[in-house]
């Protein structure tokens, strides 16, 4: 067995929001483990540029917040190309601001992008997985699934919801052979975090607050994703795997 437990050869993975950042890193990592990867986003040009960097990658542009568009895209892909064996729900956004002044429209965008998309894409893909009695769903949560910090209360609410939706997916779908889990990244160097990465005061705080003493690099999330996508995680369900340098373990 050994390394074969983590071999994804012959499996196909759809990763939402995968033209850059964490999604792109996970797609590249899954491909290196043998999977055929399907990149998703709304910008076809950025997707094509990302796919050109991953051998064998294909693209499936759709808006993950649009229920009908998701259904059409997923059903069409399954009919034309075959099974999606692994789904990584990574699409997400951030909006920072004091809660008392937080714009209602920004709150709604966060709800749609960070949590409704997990429902829409998860349901569309799971309907096919259930018929095959197998599948892996990996949702991207956050340290904010468990913790809060000033200025991002609505984001924290959405990531808490991702954690509990993951548990709900496992509770409903494990009996159908699906493994539904989440990865909760700590603070990683990504385009979403540019404002924080470029803030010396925040970086100093983070280095002191995190037992590992540094920012995470996106490639450090790949192993967790391969594990949850592979046979090595055959009896792991409804789990939230924190990859955060120890930040949720310490005061």
Q: Which residues of 119-149 are buried (b: 16+ CB within 10 A; e: fewer)?
A: bbbbebbbebbbeeeebbbbbbbbbbbbeee
Q: Exposed/middle/buried for 82, CB within 10 Å: 0-12, 13-18, 19+? A: exposed
Q: Is the separation of the CB atoms in 31 and 57 below 8 Å?
A: yes
Of these residues, 155, 187, 188, 227, which one is catalytic?
A: 155
- In Å, what is the CA distance from 62 to each residue of 75, 124, 128, 198? 12, 13, 18, 31
Is 155 an active-site residue?
yes
Residue keyed to tokens 């290196």: 32
Phi first, then psi, for residue 137 (nearest 5°) are -120, 125
Active-site residues: which are they?
155
């Amino acid at each position: 067995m050994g390394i074969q437990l983590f071999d994804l050869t012959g499996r196909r993975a759809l990763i939402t929001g995968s033209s850059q950042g964490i999604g792109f890193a996970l797609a590249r990592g899954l491909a290196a483990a043998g999977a055929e990867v399907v990149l998703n986003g709304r910008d076809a040009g950025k997707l094509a540029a990302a796919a050109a960097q991953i051998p064998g990658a294909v693209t499936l542009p759709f808006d993950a917040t649009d229920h009908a568009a998701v259904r059409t895209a997923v059903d069409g892909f399954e009919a034309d190309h075959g099974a999606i064996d692994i789904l990584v729900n990574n699409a997400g956004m951030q909006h920072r601001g004091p809660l008392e002044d937080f714009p209602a429209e920004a709150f709604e965008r966060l709800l749609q992008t960070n949590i409704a998309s997990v429902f829409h894409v998860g349901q569309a893909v799971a309907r096919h997985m259930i018929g095959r009695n197998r599948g892996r769903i990996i949702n991207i949560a956050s340290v904010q699934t468990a913790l809060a910090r000033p200025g991002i209360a609505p984001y924290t609410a959405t990531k808490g919801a991702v954690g509990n939706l993951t548990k709900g997916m496992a509770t409903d779908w494990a009996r159908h052979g699906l493994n539904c889990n989440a990865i909760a990244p700590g603070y990683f160097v990504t385009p979403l975090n540019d404002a924080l990465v470029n803030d010396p005061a925040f970086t100093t705080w983070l280095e002191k607050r995190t037992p590992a003493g540094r920012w995470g690099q996106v490639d450090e999330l790949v192993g967790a994703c391969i594990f949850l996508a592979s046979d090595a995680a055959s009896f792991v369900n409804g789990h939230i795997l924190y990859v955060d340098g120890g930040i949720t373990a310490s005061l």
